[in-house]
Amino acid sequence: MKQLKKIVLKIPLDPRAKEFFDLLEKYELLQIHRQDEDQIFATQKVKFKDPKMNPKMLENEHYGMSYIEVLKEDRRNNEFIFFSKHNWVKETKEFLDKLDLIIDPPIILDQDRLLASIITDSKNINKFVDSLDSHYDEKLEILSITNIQPNYENLFLKLTDRQKEIVYYAIQHGYFEIPRRINSKKIANYFKISRSALYEHLRKIEKIIYNTIFS
C-alpha cells in the first residue's frame, strides 16, 4: 500500500489568475464537488473589494467561469458563497495531468499567496514540488508534510444501498477511468434518475469516502 502524505504549502499566485484575485479582499475555496478533463465544480466564498461587485459578474470566458449560482450573500459585508463551474486553464490542466494528487480543501487566499493542502504518495512528493518550482517564478513555501493513515473501517457501512449500487456500476463501467468508458448520462439513464440527481449521489459518495479515509 502506498504511504500517503499531506503537504500544506503556500503557492504564489499564477499571473493568469492575478487579475481575478486582485478583485478580492478574501477568498476561500470551500469544497470541490467534482472535476473532470475539462471542468471543475466547486463552492467558493469571496469578499469583493468593490461593493458594487457580485459573483455573477465573473460568469464569462475571461475569468474561465461558465456557470455561477449564488448560494448565500451578505450585502452588508459584501461577502458571497457561490457554486461555480470553471473551465481548466490549459497550462494548469497539463500540470495536474502529470501528477497523481488530491486537492484537499479549503484553499485560502493569504495576502499574495494561496494556502493549500495536497494529498499524494511519498514517491510523488519531490516530483510535485519540482513541478511547482518550475511552474512559478517565485519559490513556494512548504509549511508541513505529514503522514496520513487511511481508515477503511466501516467505510461501506456508511454508504446506503443505493450509493453502493451507483458507485459499483460506475467503477465497473469505467466512469472513473481516463478517458472515461461511460458518461454520466448513460449511468443516470440506467438508474432512471436525472443527471443532477446522479451528481448529487456521487458528491455524497465522494464526501463519505474522503472523510472516512482521510479523517
Report how far residue 196's alpha carbon sits from residue 190's, in angstroms, rounded to the nearest whole number.
14
H-run or E-run covering 18: helix 15-21
Which ranges in the chain are annotated with CATH 1.10.10? 156-214
**What secondary structure does DSSP assign to 53-92, as a single string?**
--GGGG-SGGGTEEEEEEEEEETTTTEEEEEEEEEPPHHH
Report how far residue 79's alpha carbon sits from residue 81's, in angstroms, rounded to the nearest whole number.
7
pLDDT, tens digit (0-9, with 9 covering 90-100), for 142-164: 899 888 766 665 566 678 888 88
Q: How confident is the model at residue 5 (pLDDT cuts 50, 70, 90)?
A: confident
Mean pLDDT of all residues in 37-41: 78
**What secondary structure does DSSP assign to 150-189, as a single string?**
---TTTGGGS-HHHHHHHHHHHHTTTTSSS-SS-HHHHHH
Residue with cell 464569462: 60
Mean pLDDT of all residues in 138-144: 81
Report how far residue 214's alpha carbon sits from residue 193's, in angstroms, rounded to the nearest whole number.
30
* Topology of the domain covering 156-214: Arc Repressor Mutant, subunit A (1.10.10)
- Name the percent of the chain lying above pLDDT 70: 83
